[in-house]
Every structure is written in C-alpha cells, then in structure tokens.
Structure 1
Amino acid sequence: MKPTETILALSLLALAPGAWAVDAPRTLAEQTRALQAQPGFIDLWRDEEKGRVLLSVAALDQPFLMLSSLPYALGSNDVGLDRGQPGEMKLVRFQKHGMRIFLVQENTRYVARSADADERNAVAESFAAAVLWSGDILASENGRYLIDFSSFLLADQHGVAQRLGDSKQGAYKVDEKRSAVLPALAKAFPDNVELEALLTFSGAGQGEYVRQVAADPASLSLRQHISMVRLPDQGYKARAFHPASGGFDTGYYDFAAPLASSLDVRWQLRHRLEKTVPGAAPSAVKKPIVYYLDRGAPEPVRSALLEGARWWSSAFEKAGFKDAFRVELLPEGADAMDVRYNVISWVHRATRGWSYGNALADPRTGEIIRGAVTLGSQRVRQDILIAESLLAPYGKAGNPELQKMAEQMALARLRQLAAHEVGHTLGFSHNFAASRQGNGSVMDYPHPVLKLETDGRIGLQEAYSAGVGPWDDYIVQHIYGELTDDELAQLRARANAAGMQYVSDSDARTPGASHPNGLLWDFGPDSLKTWDQLGAIRRQALQRFSLDVLPNERQTGEIEARLVPVYLLQRYQAEALARLIGGGEFDYSTSGDVKAGRARSGVRAVPAASQRQALARLADTLSAEYLALPPKVLDLLTPPATGYERNKEYFETRMNSVFDALSAVEAGAAHTAGFLFDAGRVNRLYWQHARDPGQPGIADLMTQVLQRTWKRPAAPPTQAGSEAVQLSANWVVLDALLRLLNGNQLHAAAEAELRQQSADLAAWLKKAPSSDASRQQAASHIQRYLADPRSVKLRPAPPIPPGAPI
C-alpha cells in the first residue's frame, strides 16, 4: 500500500462511528441489567427481547448431569421422535479456555476408580471425551462467568436429524432463522435448570413417514428441552448388578480393578429409596417414589392408567417399604419435562406402536434420576379391534354387553401396560418366561387369555390378570430390599425353588431364539396345549367371521383389517412351538450360584417327543386346510371405499385394491417358514441330533415340511381354491429353503445335508407329470440354484402385517 493510501484508510477509520469507543461493559450486573433473573443450581437470566438465555457459570470443572427431551415431537411411530421422549443422560462439565467457556462430556465408559490421581488421569487421557459446545465469556467477576447459552439450545442436541436420516426420511438440518430460544420457559431450581427452544428442521420432505404426519414435511418444527442437573449427593448406596436380579444395569470398565477382577463393573439401576428405620423390618421411607400421569390422558383411560401403575405399591409394601410408591395426576401447570418429575406420558402418533419406559440414571452409580414413560395412545384401539373381531358384537340388534366386554378387555390391557412401562423406569427388565406361571409378572408381554364357551362363543371375561405377580414381588425385593449379599442369595434360591425362570430380550426376540420359555405374547404353562386351544378358537372365529365384527358406521373395506388378527391368531403361539424345536433351557447365574446349587449351568435340550410334536403342529400350518379361508369370508371382503386406502395393517395385495387371498396365504406360510428355516435353529437341530440320534435333525425337519407341502396329495376340494392355496404355500417354503442355503450362516456339514435334501427334492419333483407345471418349475429352480446360486434371483419373504404390539 502506498503511504498516501495508508493515511487515507486511517482517516476513514477515524471518521467511522464508534471506531474508538470503549469496550462493552464487562460486569455481570451491567450485562444483565433489566433482564429477569432466575437464581438456582446455575443462575440464569431471561432475555425475551433478544431471544436469549444467559447463564452464570461458577463451578468450573465440576461435573453435572445433562439430558435432552422433546416436549413437542413428530408423531411418527416409524421414525420414533415422540412427545416427551428423553435422550441420553450425559455427565458433563464446564471448562474455561482463554476467554471462552467449553461444555465437555466425560467418557464414562472407561474409568479408573482409584485414589491415585495419576492412575485416573492415565485412563482419562486414553479415551476421547467430547466438546459439545463453546461460547464467549460476556462478563466475569469473582469466579463467575456469564455466557449466552442460546447457540447450544439452537443446535440439535437430541439427535433429531440423525433419527430422520436413520429412518430414511432424508437429510435434515436446523434452520436457525426459523428456530428460536424460548426464554419465557427457562427455569432455575436449587438442583436443576430447565431450558427450551423451538427448532425447525429443513429438508427435502420426501420421506414417507414425514409426509404422513407433518404439516409441511420440508419444515419440521419441534421443541427441544434441556435439563441440567446437580449430581446426587453421596448418600446413595449403589448395588452390584446380578444377572438373575431381573433388572437393568449400567456400568463401565474400571482399569483400577485388581488384576484378578473383571474390568467390567456393573451397577443395578434403581431409584434412591431409604427407610427411616434401616433394617429388614417394615418402615416408612424418607422420600417416596412418586410418578405423575399426563393430564392429557382422557377417561376412562386415565383411571385405568392410574390404577395399573399403582399396582407396584403392593410389591414395595411386601419388601418392607411403607407408602414408598405413589402415582398421582400431574399438577396443573407443571412442566412434564422438568427432570424432577417421574412422568407417564400419553402420546399420540399417526399409527399404533410401541410404548416405552426409560430409566434415566447417573452413569457412575446407576441411581435413577428420572423415570420417563411413553404410552402410545393407539394401542388400546388395536386391543378393542381384536376383541371386536373375536366377539362380533355389532349384529342387527347390536350387543351392548359384548361391546362393553371389548372395551373392558382393552382397559384391562392398559392397566397392565402402565404397570409394565413404569416397571422399566423402576429398573426392571422384561421377563418373558413369567407367563409359564400364569400371572407371573407384568414385565412379560401378555397375550389375551381366550376361552371357547360351551355354546361356541369366544370368552374374554378374564383376558388379562390384575395386579403384579410373584416375579414382580421378587424383583422389587431383590433390587430395592435392604438385604445383605447372603440374604440376596437366599432370595434367589427361594425364587428358583418356586419355579421362577428369567429370560429377557437377548434370548427371546429373534426368530431363532432357543429358550423354550422365553416367549413374547404367549400364555399358559404348556405351549402345545395352548396351541391346540387357540387353534380351536381360530377355527371358530373364522367360521363366525362376518360384518358383525364391524361397527355400523365404518366403511366395509375395514373388514379386512379385522380379519388379519383372526387369521393370524396363533402367530405368537407358533413362535412358542418353534422354540421347542432345537430348543434348550438355561439359567442366568454366576459361578457362585451354580456351585451353591442355586442355579444350573449348561443348556438342557428340549425332550425329543416335545420337539417332534411341535414340528408336526407347525408343519400343519403350511397345509391348505389351515391356510385357506372359508368361502363365506372370501365373499365378504370388500376393497376400501373411495377416499380410504389400504395400509400396513392389511394383507399385501397384487390384485390392485381388492383382497388378495394368495398374499394372505403367503403371509401365513412365511410366518411359519421363517421360524422353521432359521439358520440358528437348523444348526442346533443338526448338533442335537449328532450328539443324541434320538433327537430330531435336519432330515426330520424336511420330511415333516415336505409331507405337508410339495409331497402331499392334492388338497381336498372342500377348501376354497385349495390347490392354488397349497401351491402358494409350497413356493413360500421353497423360497425360504433357498434363502437359508444362500445366507452363509449354516455350518458346513449342516449346509451339506440340507443341500442334499434339496437335491433329493428336485429329483422327486422331476418325476411328476410334465403337466404339473409348478413341480417341474420347482425342480428346475432348485437344480439351477444348486449348480450356480448366482444364476437364480431369490424372492424375498412375503410381507406379514404387524402383530406386536398387541
């Protein structure tokens, strides 16, 4: 720059307004003048004119807990961004670097619980922490630092964009110009701070689910709530997690553990509950556990939810805690997102879906800070639909008694649901084996107990039990009781002696799971007996199925949605049968419990006779006699009226809008084939038979299935379209078999045997008359696949309408 240009530039700068003004005020008082103050755990100021929230940070490097939630949400079960949904509980701290404040999340998964600072630091330096935010210091005095926290609140702390992307709804990001901090909702209390912002996420808006629910799918406006919580005091006594406790755990890897000890340290999740008089004797508590029900739940739902959630009070009484658990209606005007409240939220979505219970805990100890229950409001309507489909209460004259029975069944289920989800927030896991003892636990998934009355009608009077069960009493005692380690061991021994088994999610949810008692949506102690009982009810329900299952004001196209749960009535009991095939029992335990005789080690195979009976019954469901619908039902089914449309609650159709009987058959056959041709199950069959030739093996599986499908005689003409029905099922079976061979999940020897069985089937099919097109085509299909798998395009499994949650 030339000297004259330099002089000119400096002259222009001097003339600029405020060029030589003094620095802005640097004291807290000057920066917060005329702003509304909220003293508390972290002092805050509301700046409604500028749309800001200012915080005063005093405790640098002091950890606290932070949690996000969604007061206003998306409303899509498929995406999973629900009203009241909580995020992850994080351990964070503020740090000062120069003239900026950083918010840092600690890595709580890897620690050193040691008095030696160098040992602690060695672990902290080995695993990455995370800087979540940083902001300029606006003012400081006496160790207090004023910051504008608005940019943190306006960022996607809850992971909304990631959830939208994971559910294939497209790429979304926060539009800051259409987002705003909500200072009027900022609140500070002695132990927590509650902050909120309106976030608008912009995206292409092409995803199916966002288009289904949003006012404008390209502009999704939600609210994000942030809770900042003081760490609990040191009075809480953490309880070591035991695998047979029936509870949830949290933990970390402790690199300060003695060399002979496990690095994996786990604590039981539970609320703080202390007796005023310590000991085994019953006593009042210092502070009860209180849950609050969403005021948005209408009657009669509200009363049912309050009643069901309160069932837990009896279990706490039995464990020696007087008046320790209460459920009340949320006070009018209270903020349901305030971390001080354990809340049961009544949540609406566009479709029915799951309910959830989240226990939000201190990751260091497992102490539950907040229980957050999400109850999907449409589930109760599905329960009523199922009841109406079985009772057919809408004849010409109507039957108010049956209509009332349907509603009462649904409300009974709601009571159980409230108890179940609250149970999760108390620290209790699922126990899918509890149904073996009738009303064993509300932590199981219950199927309605159906009865066939002497007059042929279906009875639902006692579809669901009331109150918590023996397993629930046990888990409250084991997780909350003031018991020594020896007393806890004795408690487990008594539970085992009483026949209580415990099987949770990891051994119950997959199609190929092996534990015969880890069953979702089943009932009864004997899977074979319950299968036969439900089979008789299914036959009766299909024979009596008519327009009387549908209220008079509904369009006739809805009749198919009511057929689905009747046609697939045995879907969960079919899974129970499948667990017997290649199944084996085992216990969750410790080495000490096994040595003391309180538990058993190893896997105990299901007896061969039970396996063979289950295999025969499941194979029967692949026959036309089971799969074909009665002619009068086929003649009843009507396409949806104009303005209505089919959805996933219907069977798929390849016949435009009309009911597709073959797709229904394929769905039923696919359900069974998915269980029978599961790689884990087939591998277990191979091994069990190799170890004990008396157990069924792969050959038994193929023989039973093929005798009911490809190798069976012609289906009797008494069934509507029986031959077409059977051929549809046959092809579903063959496709499932080839997908199994193609999945690379079988042991080599098991695959070799199955390939030989397939080759033998192809040779048998080749001998059929040339006019038998399906058998000839199937033979060629198998041979081409075995010769060159890449030359054959395998069909995917037919879609099955959703069943759970029922």
Structure 2
Amino acid sequence: MYRLLLSFVIFAAAMIGGCESRTAPAGVANDSAAQADEADKKDEAEEKKTIAEVTENSDRVDGLFTLFRDREDGTVYMAVQPDQLNQEYIYFAHTTNGVVEGGHFRGAYIGNSVFSLKRHYKRLEFVGENTSFYFDPDSPLSRAADANISPAVLAVQEIVAEDEKTGEVLIKLDDVLLKEKLQQVKPTPDPDAKPKDGFTLGTLSESRNKIVAVDNYPKNTALTAEYVYENPAPVVRGEEDITDSRAVSIRVQHTFIAMPDNDYQPRLDDYRVGYFASRVTDLTTRSNTPYRDLIARWHLVKKNPDADVSDPVEPITWWIENTTPIEYRDLIRDAALAWNSAFEKAGFSNAVAVEIQPDDADWDAGDIRYNVLRWTSSPNPPFGGYGPSFINPRTGQIIGADVMLEYSFLTNRLRRQRVLQEISGQQPQAIGHGQHAFCSLGNGMQLSNLFGMQALDAYGAGTELQQQLIHDSMHYLILHEIGHALGLNHNMKATQLLDEPFDALQVAENGLSGSVMDYPALNVAPPDEEQTLFYSTSPGPYDDWVIEYGYSPAVDDADEERERLAEILARSVEPQHAFGNDADDMRNPGKAIDPRVNIYDMSSDGIGYAVKRLEQLDEVLAGLPERHTESWQALHDGFLIMMAEYARSSAVVSRYIGGVYVDRTPPGQVSGSAPFTPVSYADQQRAMRALETHLFGPDALAGSPELFTHLQQRRRGFDFWDKTEDPKLHEWQLAAQKGVLDHLLHPNVLKRITDSRLYGNQYELAAFMDDLTDAVFAADARSDVNSVRQNLQLEYINRLAAMVTGDKKSSYDYPSQSMALYQLDQVRRLLRGKTDGNDETMAHTQHILFVIDTALDTRGA
C-alpha cells in the first residue's frame, strides 16, 4: 500500500510539472493579446478604406455604373449609388468571338433578362427577376404576387468600400463575370453523349479568364470577358478553327442597361401573327388561355401624330459595317430600305434608315448603341445570315439588333457533312442558345443557289440570269434577317400564295410568296417555263399586314384600341395572310402535321411544284459531266448538291401523306374550314405515286458510269488517311430514301393516319401500307432487282420487322404494328415463289425471307 501511494504521488508531481512546463510566462501572453488587438484594428482600418483609397491605383470609367480598373493587376471594381439599389435593369449577353463546335459564334445573342442589385448587410446581390407572370393590380391576389415564384440570386459580392456620406458602395466585379454567374457560357452537355461523339468544351479555367474590355455609356455598362476552357487530354480535338483544344477561348460581352424611360406601350401577341414574344401568364384571370405575351417591336413614334403617314421621331437606323465588301453595300442598303413600304401601310414613312460605318469610326460594331449589318467570313460558318434582337423583357420593346452575314453564302465552299445531312433528310438544329430564334436560311439558300447555277448552266442561260440569281438571293436574305430584327419570326406557310410561280403577271402583282420570312424553294424555271423572280425582292402581303398589327400607332382609348387590333386580326382568313411558324413546320421526319407549313416548297400546289423540280433534277444531272471538266471536285460537289435537292423535294411530297391541314381561325370568325382537315385522298395518292416514280422506283436517282467514275474529291495532304475516297453512291442514294421512310413510317404519322379516319381521312392505313409496299417491291417482284433497290427493300423490311418485334415500350400503336406484321407476311408470300432472277437477286430474295421469317418466328407466327 505504501509503495502504491508513493507511486501515485510521484506520478501526480510529474503531471503537475508537465502542466507547468506548458504555461507561457505572463509577459508573453500579454504580447500575444496585444498583437491580436493590433491585427483586429488593422483589419478594421482596411475595412474602413474609402472608395478613393481602394481605387487610387485605378482608371475611372464613367457611365451607367461607374467602373474602376486597377492599372497593375486589371481588377475591375463597380460603384453602385444608393438610388441604383432595388431598381430593375436589363441584362444582355452576346458572344463577341467563339467557336461553333463550342456552341458560340460572333454575334450570337445568348442572354436577355431583368436583374436588380440588392444589399444584404455587407454584401451586394445580383438578383434575376421573374418576368413570366402578370397580376392585375386591382385584384387582391396581387398582394401575393411573389408567392411560390423564386427570384434567382445569381451572384453575391462583398462590399469592399463604402462612402458613409453618400451611401455609394464598391464591389469587385471580376468574380461576377469570370465564373459564369450571370450567364451560362458553356452549353449543357448531352448526358447520353460519349466522349468520342464530338468536341466539347473543357472545364472553365481557374486562372486564365480575364476581362478584356470595359466600355461605359450613360445608359449602359458593357464588359467583355474571355473564358478559357481547359482539357489537358481531349478525346476529340475539333476542327481547324480550334487552335488547340486543350485551351479554347470564348469571348462574351455582358451589358447592364438602364430600363427605358419612355411612353412605350406593350402590345399583346396573337397566334395569328408571327412575332417573337415575351411569355407572360396572367395569374388573376379565369380564362382558359391566360396569355399576356408581349410582342417584340421597336418604339416608333410619329413626328406628326395627326398625319396619316409621318416620319418617326427616331427611325430604326442600320449601319453597314465597314467590313462589308464594297460591291454589295448598295444591294444591302436597298434591301433594308425595302421594308419601308410595309411601314408606310402602318402609318410611318422612312421608318428604316441605313448608314455606312466610316473606316475611321471610333465605335465598334459590338457597341449596342448601334444596330449593325455585320459581315464575317468564318472557317465553320453556322449560318449565311442571322438577325437577332434584344428586348426589354418587361415590355417587349426592342432595344437593339444586329444582322450577321456570312461571306460563305456567296461562295462555292461546301461543308460536306452539312450536305450529307441534307441528303439524309435531317435539317440543322440550333446550337448553343436560342432554339426558337435559330435561322438556317442562309446555309439552305447557299445549296439552293449552287443547284440554281447548275440548272442555269444546263439550260444555257447567260450571265445576266446568273447575276439575277445572286442579286435576288442576297436581297431576300437581307429582307429576311432584318425581318427578324424587326421582331418577326418565321412564316413557313407563306410560299402557298401563288398558283403559278412562273406566271410573270402573278409574280409582278404579288411577289413569289406571302412573306419574306419563309424558307422558299429556289424558283428556277424549267426550260419550258418563263423565268420570273428567283426569290421575292420585297415584303409580301403578309409582311405588310403583320407590320400593321405590330407597328401601327395605338389610339388612346383602351377599348377602342382592342377593337382596332381585332379588326386587323380578323383579316387573318385572307389567303395572303396565311401563317405558320417553326413549331408548325414539317421540316424533320414526324414533326408537325400540316404539309403546307414547310421549308423549301413553293406554290399552292406543293406536290406539283416538287415533282417539277424532281424532273428538272433528272435533266440537270444528265449533263453534269460535260459541264465540269475543269475540276473533278466541282463535279463531285455538283452531284451531292443534286442529291440534296432530290431529298428536299421528296421530303416536301412525303409530308402530304397522313397530313392534316390546320386552320387557327377562332370561333365566330368565318374561314370556311374546320380547325383540322385531312389532306384529300387524291392528293395523298398523288404524293405516293410521285415518290414511287422519283424516289423508290427502279429508275429513280439514276446516273451514268461516266458520271460516277469522275466523282473524285481533290486530295489535300493526308485527309484520306482514315477513309476511302471512292464515291459512296449506294450510301448516298439510300440516305435520301431513308430520310423519306423516316417520315412515312414514323409513329406520329402512322397514328395520325388512323386517328384522322375518325374526322375525314379516306386514305386508310391499310391502303397506305399496301401502296408503300408496292412502291418498294412491285416493279421488280418477278425480275432482277438492281443494287439500289436491294438496299431500299431490305431497309423497308428491317423497319417493318423492328415495328413487329419491338419491346413493350414501342412508340407504335397496335394498328401500326398489326399492319407491319401483315405487310411482312404479304412480302413473304410474294417472294416465296420467286425463281426468276440472277444470282444477286436470288441471294437478295433469300435475305429478305430470312429477315421476315426471323421476325415472324420471334412473334410466334
């Protein structure tokens, strides 16, 4: 016990001694406390630095928001006055330079919204405001206008200095702009895509981003940021416009704009006219269509309000950029000014003005104070023309706009992959941002024009007609893109206007179509027809009418104004005012339902015009080798252009099968048509016969050995390293046929054929499928089958088999599956007894029977 107690005492003493050894002397403790107090005072002093002290090393740039840029490290500060807090501003972002594969190109508009600046203690918040809803201020519900609607706190910055007398605060702006806080810059990747599927931007750099330009004006503050996306080991390196795919730069200009202070009155959208619109839903009405969408339009005010027609106080002025080739400047100016004829009918003279940017101008085309007709020549052009605008989302007022033009529109430089896409029947979709505002007219017109030149050459036309083609096409492109910049969206129904596009009297009186906002077929006349316009060269009757609705001055009395606009809209039943936008058009397989709303068609007889074009193509194709002896590359390109035109015209014809005409006339307004009217039996049959002859038949898409042996691309370096250079004739021809089969056998089309029987469709599913099978098989059921038809027949049978053997989640309805099963059995019966034919034909026949037997055995048949 004694020993145990002694041990405990020794252990305790040691522990006490150890504790004492860890205790600091009193003097040292006092010194540490003093240092901590001094550090706190230093931090407090730094926190209390004035704005002048923080920015003493900076250049001041005055404007809407005062900016300061540090002369040593480039840091950008923004000063905010007390009266600028809790106020709404317009935010606008556009790409000043980028790469198309990264979802960006010069002039692309990528962001347009409303934001406010709000203070929360020592922080300043950038808050995105929701503009999607309306509450009647007289309704008690307006007191709950913010219920269950989330604002977006996009960015938060610490206040680095404050003027205690004025209340002005200062923040660093770099982090707000350089980290994609205000605007997503890198497009959202496809979650189903694999790394090797295509080029994608890497990860946003932590250290390479920078603000490259600061511009400030009384009503807007603009800063341009360069974003660098890093990928140390890219799987796909992209095209030649990407210098090094490990580090790709995108430049975006962010602009803060003061809310316009004027007497602009918003105008509501209507489904019978085609304006871009800000979507607004009224949450205080009991209507089943609580829409208060606001059309996009410029603020035009008459100088003389009492005059029927008056100049505006401020016209819509366009500046032709000094990069524009001199030889095209007059044409561009004339095309832009042609819109004045439409505005005169709305009460404005000289509404549109055009100036030319001086070579020594002290402003840049990216300055949003100027509306610029811009010109570029890009290695990978995403468009031939592009006409976006940006607005005040609260009212729809257009604040500014540009028209981007690509020199490639006027060249023979083809994007081969783009042409092959056309042949397969797939139309381009929007890249990056702005799906609904996407415009591919220029690219499409380039292909049309190249076909037109081939046709004119084949017909022995002189240079005068060739020059007219260039003139008409460029004139039309400018009209179209400026139409977008005026607020108009596409009208893909406008080409239905004329019965005879080659009738000079009709064309002189009405133009070629109701609107310049369509994607028309090139109107190149066959040898037995008179050449009129290739494209419309002035706004059409629809354009006049829609400008009248959007821009005619309002009357003061609200009830009278509603009645006035209703009277304008009541004229929608007039044939020349037919309208259908991109959502209504049938450009891609299975999309939409009304074949009159389409691209690359022409005339009120879309089938007849397309058949003429298919016949025209046969004539032009026959003489192709003789016309291209100077370059086999030109011959190769010419053939692909012919194939693309074949695919376009065949697609137009195919849309009439299973089509349903749409009439959006409201109740009480007489139009003579029901909202839904199936295409007549006669026209559906006519369309099927045309496809049988020109696309599916044994002699369709024919060419000569002389042509095929000369379809040689010019070799460039080692470009053929991983591919063969021989022409893929069967692949190209089958692609055109598959593009039409994609539509004819699309679940949406087959379901619609069955559904529409209940309201008038006389072309039943059984009759359609019988006709389609005959078109694919009947002509050579008892004879040799050529190699092109072999591909077509197996493609068709494999599709029917897939319809039959598909899983339970198949998109095909039961009638479609039943009919596919029936057609497989019919073909089996047709071919089982076939004994006549060469070895290729018999092998092909056995292959078809094998596919059918396998499919039917799978089903237990």
Q: Distance in 1 between matches of 2:599 and 2:583?
A: 12
Alignment correspondent of 1:680: 748
Given candidates 98, 102, 105, the residue that maps to 2:128 is 105
Q: Hey, what does 2:544 align to over in structure 1? A: 473
Shift of 1:81: 0.3
- Matched to 2:541, the amino acid is P
Aligned to 1:444: 518
With normalisation by structure 2, the TM-score equals 0.81
Tell me how far apart the structure 2 counterparts of residues 549 and 206 of structure 1 sit (CA, whole Å).
Answer: 41
Amino acid aligned to 2:373? I
State the AA in 2 paired with 1:580.
Y
Give 1:804's aligned residue. none
Aligned counterparts of 2:720 and 2:599: Cα–Cα separation in 1: 28
TM-score by length of 1: 0.86
Q: Does the 8 A contact of 1:450 with 1:459 survive in 2?
A: no
Q: Secondary structure at the match of 2:293?
A: strand
Q: Give the secondary-structure state (helix, strand or coil) at the position aligned to 1:290.
A: strand
Cα distance in 1 for partners of 2:137, 2:565 equals 28
Q: Spell out the pairing of 1:582-597 with structure 2 (5 A cutoff).
A: 582-590=658-666, 594-597=667-670
Q: Does 1:734 align with 2:797?
A: yes
Report what 1:795 is aligned to.
none
- Note the C-alpha offset of 1:573: 2.6
The range that moved more, 205-214 or 430-439, is 205-214
Identity of aligned residues (%): 22
Count of aligned pairs: 762
Per mean C-alpha deviation after superposition, the further-off stretch among 406-415 and 128-137 is 406-415
Aligned pair partner of 2:473 in 413, 421, 425: 413
Match of 1:159 in 2: 184
Match of 2:398 among 348, 368, 371: 368
> In structure 2, what residue type is equivalent to 1:46?
R
The residue number in structure 2 matching 1:64 is: 89
Map of 1:124-139 to 2, 5 A cutoff? 124-139=146-161
Counterpart residue type for residue 782 of structure 1: I
- The amino acid of 1:138's aligned partner reads V
Which of residues 67, 81, 85 is equivalent to 2:104?
81
Q: Deviations for 1:564-607, whole angstroms, at most 9, x for unmatched residues?
A: 121332333322222221222222344xxx31326854211222
Equivalent position of 1:140 in the other structure:
162
Q: Of the candidates 693, 711, 731, which is equivalent to residue 663 of structure 1?
A: 731
Taking structure 1 as reference, are residues 206 and 325 closer, same or farther at Cα in structure 2, changes over 3 Å only? same
**Distance (whole Å) between structure 1 residues aligned to residue 205 and residue 572 of structure 2:** 56
Contact 2:322 2:357 in 1 (8 A): yes
Unaligned runs of 5+ in 2: 1-18, 413-444, 498-511, 555-560
Q: Distance in 1 between matches of 2:183 and 2:65?
A: 21
Comparing 2-11 with 221-230, greater Cα deviation is found at 2-11
Summarize the alignment of residues 300-315 of structure 1 with structure 2, pairs less than 5 Å apart: 300-315=327-342
Among 287, 294, 314, the residue aligned to 2:321: 294
CA distance in 1, matches of 2:782, 2:514: 43
Q: Deviation of residue 614 (structure 1)?
A: 0.9
Aligned partners of 2:754 and 2:764 also within 8 Å:
yes
Cα gap change, 1:314/1:730 in structure 2, threshold over 3 Å: closer, same or farther? same
CA change 1:301–1:571 in 2 (3 A) is: farther
Amino acid aligned to 2:389: A
Residue of structure 2 equivalent to 1:803:
none
1:345 to 1:260, Cα distance in 2 relative to 1, 3 A: same
Matches within 5 A, 1:386-465: 387=449, 391=453, 402=462, 405-406=465-466, 408-437=468-497, 438-453=512-527, 462-465=533-536
Q: How does 1:785-804 map to 2 (within 5 A)?
A: 785-788=855-858
Change (3 A) 1:572 1:445: same
**Maintained 8 Å contact 1:624/1:726:** yes
Is the CA contact (8 Å cut-off) linking 1:706 and 1:712 kept in structure 2?
Answer: no
Amino acid in structure 2 at the alignment position of 1:320: G
Task: Identify the residue that residue 357 of structure 1 maps to in structure 2.
Answer: 387
Give the deviation of 1:229 after TM superposition: 0.5
Provide the C-alpha distance between the structure 2 equivalents of 1:701 and 1:644, rounded to a whole number of angstroms.
49
Q: What's the counterpart of residue 301 of structure 2?
A: 274
What code does the residue aligned with 1:307 have? D
Check the 8 A contact 2:315/2:352 in 1, yes or no: yes
2:551 equivalent to 1:522: no
Cα pair distance change 1:548/1:12, threshold 3 Å: farther
Q: Tell me the distance in 1 between the aligned counterparts of 2:107 and 2:325.
A: 17
Q: Report the Cα offset of residue 321 of structure 1.
A: 0.5
Would the alpha carbon gap of residues 400 and 144 (structure 1) be closer, same or farther in structure 2, given more than 3 Å must change? farther
User: 1:526 Cα shift?
Assistant: 1.1
For residue 580 of structure 1, the aligned residue among 622, 647, 656 is 656
Shift of 1:776: 2.2
Q: CA RMSD in A?
A: 3.4
Q: 211, 222, 225: which is aligned to 2:253? A: 225
Q: Note if 1:611 corresponds to 2:678.
A: no
Give the structure 2 partner of residue 26 of structure 1: 49
Counterpart of 2:515 in 1: which secondary structure?
coil
C-alpha spacing 1:9/1:178, structure 2 compared with 1 (3 Å): farther
Secondary structure in structure 1 of the residue aligned to 2:641? helix
C-alpha displacement at 1:700, in angstroms? 2.3
Change (3 A) 1:677 1:769: same
Q: What are the superposed Cα offsets for residues 643-696 of structure 1, whole Å, 9 maximum, x if unpaired?
A: 27479xxxxxx9822012211221221122123212222222223346557x22
Q: Return the offset for 1:94.
A: 0.8
Measured in 2, the distance between the counterparts of 1:163 and 1:5 equals 61
Quick one: distance in 1 between partners of 2:364 and 2:669? Answer: 50
Which residue type is aligned with residue 452 of structure 1?
P
Q: Which residue of 1 aligns with 2:562?
A: 485
Q: Secondary structure at the match of 2:24?
A: helix
Deviates more, 1:17-26 or 1:93-102: 17-26
> Match for 1:607: what amino acid?
S
Alignment of structure 1 residues 513-662 onto 2, 5 Å: 513-546=592-625, 548-549=627-628, 552=630, 554=631, 556-590=632-666, 594-597=667-670, 600-620=673-693, 621-643=695-717, 645=719, 656-662=724-730
Distance 2:478 2:795 in 1: 39
Q: How far off is 1:731 after superposition?
A: 1.9
SS state at 2:738 partner? helix
Counterparts of 2:297 and 2:450, CA distance in 1: 40
Correspondence 1:152-191 to 2 at 5 A? 152-156=176-180, 157-162=182-187, 168-170=198-200, 172-182=202-212, 185-191=213-219
Task: Tell me the alpha carbon deviations over residues 516-559 of structure 1, each in whole angstroms, 9 at most, x when there is no partner.
Answer: 31020112221232123212211111111026347x4x5x2453
Counterparts of 1:88 and 1:336, CA distance in 2: 18
Distance 2:267 2:456 in 1: 55
Quote the offset at 1:64 in angstroms.
0.7
Q: Kindly tell me: are residues 539 and 53 of structure 1, through their superposed partners in 2, closer, same or farther at Cα, counting changes over 3 Å?
A: same
Please state how far the C-alpha of 1:767 moved relative to its aligned partner.
Answer: 3.1
Equivalent in 780, 785, 795 of residue 713 of structure 1? 780
The answer as to whether partners of 1:72 and 1:223 remain within 8 angstroms in 2 is yes
- 2-side partners of 1:394 and 1:495: how far apart? 38
Partner of 2:831: 765
When residues 121 and 372 of structure 1 are mapped into structure 2, their CA distance, relative to the original with a 3 A threshold, is: farther
Q: Does the 8 Å CA contact 1:433/1:502 hold for their aligned counterparts?
A: yes
Aligned pairs for 1:245-264 within 5 A: 245-255=273-283, 257-260=284-287, 262-264=289-291
Gaps of 5+ in 1: 648-653, 792-806
Answer yes or no: is the 8 Å Cα contact 1:385–1:562 preserved in 2.
no
Q: Amino acid of the residue matched to residue 128 of structure 1?
A: S
Q: How does 1:498-513 map to 2 (within 5 A)?
A: 498-508=575-585, 509-512=587-590, 513=592
- Taking the TM superposition and a 5 Å limit, the aligned residue runs for 1:109-124 are 109-114=132-137, 119-120=141-142, 122-124=144-146
Q: Give how far 1:218 is off.
A: 1.0
1:557–1:641: 8 Å Cα contact kept in structure 2? no
User: Which of these residues, 27, 50, 55, is aligned with residue 78 of structure 2?
Assistant: 55
Letter in 2 for 1:764: L
Assess, with a 3 A threshold, how the Cα gap between structure 1 residues 93 and 137 changes in structure 2: closer, same or farther: same
Task: Give 1 or 2 for the bigger CA radius of gyration.
Answer: 2
Give deviations 1:423-451, integer Å, cap 9, x for gaps. Answer: 11211121111111223211011221112
